[in-house]
Structures are given as structure tokens and as C-alpha cells.
A and B are shown apart, each in its own frame.
Chain A
């Protein structure tokens, strides 16, 4: 054991914990009663059908294998592959998120540069920020009159605040020495913004972007449960209505995996723009 690196030991421990947890889960599921012991009455009232229960992990793994080996099939509105559903969700998240970034980052820049704008806009931001994104849903549906666009709007409204606040905070906190370097080198406003202030504030801005994408991914599941039609959130709710708990558990895991990948992508971006003073 002593020869393994810290990472290798941690990985080994993770695997052990996973296997133990799966075994406990598997053992905790009671076996279905055999059909042969049923009375005729029970058979007539549908008692012969297997009772819905929490599926054992072996079933979930089998389901995952089946779904992931053919992720992009499309057999009508209620039967689409997991890849297609996740694709819908990601495209909604990215559309709303990019719209939010396009507004929040330049606006945050201006707010950060101007103490007056910072103070003037702060009360609005503080009131709008804590509103649950789903609370906007009825208003969005009424005004936009389109469920798809409303879901994107909800993503937009929840992603904008962390990016706006972090950008303003990062820009306002740029060390005056660095701004003085730009000034003594006669860099113009745009040159200063792009070559000094943006790289100086980038770690804070990207932190805001990372928080935003996390929130957006949390919110899209709930939003799709409401608007229906397509997406991973709709898929979960649809399988719940089908009482297919195997699929529910499988899709919950997929939500986690996709969220982790989105976060990892922004983690990598964060490392790319980080600097040590």
C-alpha cells in the first residue's frame, strides 16, 4: 500500500465504497413473491403483475447498459433515447446561459468600473437575486406564451445574477497598481479593459460563470418537469408516471454525471485563467 500514490489510494477507497454500497443496496431489496402462490382472485385483480418497488442496482445497471448502448433512438414523443433527452436539456441550458453571459459580463464590467452604477443597481440586484427561478415561470409563460422559450428564460434569469455580481466584484477589485501600469503606458480604455482589467478579473468572473452553470443545470430539471415535452427533467417525470423506477434512478444518475461534466469544464477554464500574485 505504501507504494501507491495518494490519488491511487483514494481511487481504490472510492471503488471499495461503491462496491460495498451497491452490495448493501442489492441485499436490501426483498425478492418478489413467486406467482404460483396467488389465488384466482388475486390473479384476476392484477396481483400477478410484479409489484412496483425500488429496483436493485443490478437492474439499474442493466437498464443503463441498454439505454447507453443506443442513446439516440427516437420512437415517438414519449419514447426517446437518453442522449436525445439530455441533448435537449443541454441546448436549453446553453441557450439561456449564453444569453445571460452576453448581458451579465459587459454589464458587470460597467458596474464594476463605476461606483455610482454599482450603488444604484445594487438594490435591484439584491431583490431580484434571491427569487427562485421557477417563480418566474407563470409570468414567463403568460408573457412569452411558449413553453420552450419560457424554460430558456428561466435559465437565463437564474444564470445572470452570479455572473453579474462576480464580474462587477472582480472588476471593482482590480489592483490600482495594475491600472496605473496601464495608465503610464498610455493604453486606451478598450486596451486597458481587455489587456489589464479582464485578465485581472478573469478568475472572479469565471467563478461566477461556474456557479451559474451549476444553478442552471439544477433549474432545468425542475423547469422541464413543468413545461414537459422533451428533456431530462421531463424524462424523469414521465418515467415516474410510468412507475418505471429503474429508469428514474438511471436518469437521476445521468443528471449527476452531466452536471459534473459541466462543472469540470468550467473548473478547467478557471485553472486556465488563474494566476498567482
Chain B
């Protein structure tokens, strides 16, 4: 079996529980992400999604286990792994353009200043920020615009892996929809590998190639890997018509509602905890009927 592009092996995180013992958030979590894949991870609060993300970003150290990207073990933060934080994390004393360009300048230190600025403007334009807006400070922007800047900053750096930590969690539903579309558009033009945390089932189905489902903590597991069998390009109004949409959605709701609780609390015993692959495809059954219909026409 060939190794995936990003491979997470036996990842374990334990914290002291404050009473002398230890609290195991998850142990021996093992999964992979292919190059160019968009993967969402869904799970209840406290199951360790954010911890996994911080480990992938290099901002936190796991208790044990390794993360390998492109065959090399990663440690510490790196420009190869871009992060979009939930609270945008723009530097408030810099203008919108400078917030993007300082990242580009860090990524490409040999570029001229003009080239860095041009590249930054291009990426801001991709998320719909052009003209005077890019000279404003983040405090003068709406929440949605700030998150756009943050997304532009991450994409402009061409990271090998893009990590999105609930990027739309603080936005209202309408703004969220618009920016999801923009994210899909900007992602569609790249070969960007994305790993995203979300709480929103519909958002995950719209965006992801694959959804990882986590059971509740402690001893949380990445229990299932659900393939999203809806062809791209996707559109929020059209995907709900697709025969697979509600089948997948019901499976996810069912998992988060019931099985996430039932699966939690079991130590791994040192075994690699791999997610079970799940593929739901109603179109395959419909396709099976097609020759029959054609026969009638003949």
C-alpha cells in the first residue's frame, strides 16, 4: 500500500487532568490525506479536532505519534502548512494588503517588493477584495471581509497543506454561504490539499472530497471516513437535488447524534486506530437500471 501524501500515524495526545492522573484525548489515531484532497473533520466539541489541527500546524506537540508529509516527518510550524484561524488572526496595525504581503514576503524572500505586492493584490482580488478596501485596517472591515483576507493570505503562500480551523464559525449564515463559494472557486483553481475543521454538516458536504468523523472524547477516535460521492463543480442549490445528498447527510447526522457517543471511551490497546471507509452512492444503483431502459427504447 502506497503511503498517502499526508500521513498521521499513531497520534496520541494526553493531558494531565489536574488531579494527578492523565486525560487521554485520543490515542493511536492513524489516517492519511491524498495530495489535492479536500478533507473535512466533523465531531463534537472536546473530541480533539483542534488539537489534531494544532499538531498538524506544528503549534502543539503530540504526546506520541508522528505526522509525515511527502515522506518527511514534520515538527514545528512551517510555511509549508498554512493556517486560517477561526478568529482571523490578522495583525490589526497592518493594512489588509500588508497583512497578505508580509506572509508572501516571508514565503518568497527573493521576490522584489513590487512582485510581492502584485501577488498579494491578485489573491485579494480572488476573494473579492479590490480597490480602496485593501488599504483599510482589519478593524474597518466586516467579519466576513476579515476572513476573506485570512483566506487570501493562506492561499497566496501556496502551502503544501492548508489548515482551516472552523473558518466560518463566527460568521452569519448568509456571509458564510458566500465565502464558502469563494473558497470553492479559489480552491478549484489550485491543487491545494486542504484539511478543515467544521461543525456544519452541510458545509462539509458542499466542500469536502472526504469527511472524517470523530467520536466523542475522551479516547476519541477518527471512526469513519465518508467519501462524498457528489461530482464537482458543486453548487449549494444544486447539490441538495443530488440523490446522494440526503443519504450522506442522514449518515452524518446519525453518526453525530448517536454513534459518536457509543464509540467513545475505549482505549486502543496500542492498535492503530484507522477510520472505516464509508461510500454511499445511490447513483450506482440508478446507473444499473440504464441498460434496461435503453433496451426499451430499441
Contact = CB atoms under 8 A, between A and B. Distances in A.
A200 B58 CA distance: 23
Interface stretch (B84-92, B205-213, B233-241, B282-290): B84-92
A110 to B, nearest CB: 22
A185 B80 CA distance: 9
A266 B12 CA distance: 52
A37 interface: no
Contacts of A27: none
B137 A177 contact: no
B66 interface: no
A199 interface: yes
Given A185-B103, A199-B93, A177 B87 contact: yes
* Residue picked from B57, B58, B106, B157, most chain A C-beta under 10 Å: B106
- Please classify the interface of chain A as helix (H, G, I), strand (E, B), loop, or mixed, using the class held by over half of its residues: helix
Given A177-B89, A196-B91, A199-B91, A184 B139 contact: no
Q: Mostly helix, strand, loop or mixed at chain B's interface? A: loop
Q: How large is the interface on B (under 10, 10 to 19, 20 to 34, 35 or more residues)?
A: 20 to 34
Contact of B79 (A178, A184, A277): A184
Contact of A185 (B87, B92, B106, B137): B106
Contact of A181 (B78, B89, B107): B89
A112 to B, nearest CB: 18
Given A195-B102, A275-B139, A276-B137, A184 B92 contact: no
Interface in B99-142: 102-103, 106-107, 137, 139
Interface string B211-242: 00000000000000000000000000000000
Interface size class of A (residues with CB under 8 A): 10 to 19
Contacts of B160: none
Interface in A177-208: 177-178, 180-181, 183-187, 195-196, 199-200, 202
Nearest to A177: B89
Q: Which of A177, A185, A195, A199 has the most CB of B within 10 A?
A: A185
B241 to A, nearest CB: 39
A185 B58 CA distance: 11
B148 interface: no
A275 B138 CA distance: 10
A275 B92 contact: yes
A178 B89 contact: yes
A187 B102 CA distance: 10
A28 B145 CA distance: 65
A273 B89 CA distance: 19
Contact of A275 (B79, B81, B83, B93): B93
B139 A186 contact: no
Contact of A200 (B82, B93, B103): B93
A90 B183 CA distance: 58
B77 A184 contact: yes
Given A195-B102, A275-B137, A277-B139, A184 B82 contact: yes
Contacts of A181: 85, 89, 91
A183 B59 contact: yes
B82 to A, nearest CB: 7
Interface in A251-277: 273, 275-277
Contacts of B79: 184-186
11 contacts: A181-B85, A184-B78, A184-B79, A184-B82, A184-B83, A186-B78, A186-B106, A187-B106, A200-B93, A276-B137, A277-B92
Given A181-B85, A184-B77, 15 more contacts: A181-B89, A181-B91, A184-B59, A184-B82, A184-B83, A185-B79, A185-B106, A186-B77, A187-B106, A195-B102, A196-B91, A202-B93, A273-B93, A275-B93, A277-B92
Interface of A: 177-178, 180-181, 183-187, 195-196, 199-200, 202, 273, 275-277
